[in-house]
Amino acid sequence: AIEKARSLRPDVITLDVEMPVMDGLAALPTLAGELGIPVVMLSSLTQEGADITLRALSLGAIDFVPKPSGAISLDISKVRDDLLVKVKAAAKVSAARVRRLARDAKAPPTARGREAKPARARGDGRRAENVVVIGTSTGGPRALTQVVPWLPPNLPAGVLIVQHMPAGFTKSLADRLNQASKIRVAEAQGGEAITQGEALIAQGGLHMAVEPDGTVRLDSSPPMHGVRPAVDITMNSAIDLYGKKTVGVIMTGMGSDGADAMARVKRMGGKTVCEHESTCVVYGMPRAVVERGHADRVVPLPRIADEIVDAVLSL
């Protein structure tokens, strides 16, 4: 496959993890890092498959599609539409951007971020008076690893994260972020209170909404913008409760999910932050906010954590 990629230079490669001789994770650094070819992973719907998929995304893969029924999945046609959309989106990512994603995976983290006020215990259980809602899609798992770990444990806000993902993958994402972060990160189960210094990630395949009592609800109501979970549902319900004490953050991803809710955040007197095009894998969701004039701050990925802290402290 690598020899063919070197000679044919395809626009996109779909890559399975399970292959003889050299598996997908071993091939990915060459395909993405050396050749700059966008890669879409095909992943099995298992815990191990989810963990490996997130590892592939951190190494430079653009996106993934879960196989419908195990390793062989002769019924791959069931995910045809999803696969076509993601292959076409990956084809628009430049070789330079792909190489940078792979290169960044090798770079050691640099210290950044700061304390909001004198430190206290991680996730002290106090009900949040402010809320940060982060929405992201294609490129999001990697982007979140460059934002959430840099949020201080004393952040005086609860954090709600909506990452467009199918069921079965968000627990692995939450576990990886929790291990790397100063704040506590967990996959939402429904019924949890929104508390300071803690982040809840919407379960893949379910919408997450904020209830009037400051807890979260999960439901399987119809998709919005073709996705479930949808950023607009979470952020709009957060605004209903928190009003001007809301910070909206939109990062890399396809489509316009979150743009309508970000407009409401701005109208209500909250703060809005968008990722700059220069660091987005796909500049779709942030573009929709920026072009409508609803972004207070537009900054590259490494600056988003500090912008979130500044926004929360200014509420």
Q: Which of 44, 164, 175, 181 is catalytic?
A: 164
CA distance 71 to 64: 14
Question: How far, in Å, are 160, 188, 223, 228, 230 from residue 220 at the CA level?
Answer: 18, 14, 8, 8, 11
Q: Name residues whose C-beta falls within 8 Å of residue 188's C-beta, 6 or more positions apart in sequence.
A: 200, 201, 202, 203, 208, 216, 218
Q: Which of 43, 137, 172, 256 is catalytic?
A: 137
Question: Catalytic site residue 137?
Answer: yes
Task: For residue 179, count other CB atoms closer than 10 A to its CB.
Answer: 9
Question: Catalytic site residue 237?
Answer: no
CA distance 56 to 63: 9
CA distance 194 to 126: 9
Q: Which of 257, 260, 276, 294 is catalytic?
A: 257
> Among 247, 280, 281, 241, which Cα is nearest to 266's?
247
Alpha helices in the chain (DSSP H): 2-8, 24-28, 47-58, 80-91, 95-106, 140-144, 170-180, 231-242, 259-268, 285-291, 304-313
Distance of CA 250 to the CA centre of its chain: 9
* Three-state SS at 61: coil
Distance of CA 261 to the CA centre of its chain: 17
Q: Name residues whose C-beta falls within 8 Å of residue 218's C-beta, 6 or more positions apart in sequence.
A: 188, 189, 190, 202, 203, 206, 207, 208
> Among 304, 39, 292, which Cα is nearest to 161's?
304
Question: Catalytic site residue 219?
Answer: no
User: Which positions are annotated as active-site residues?
Assistant: 137, 164, 257
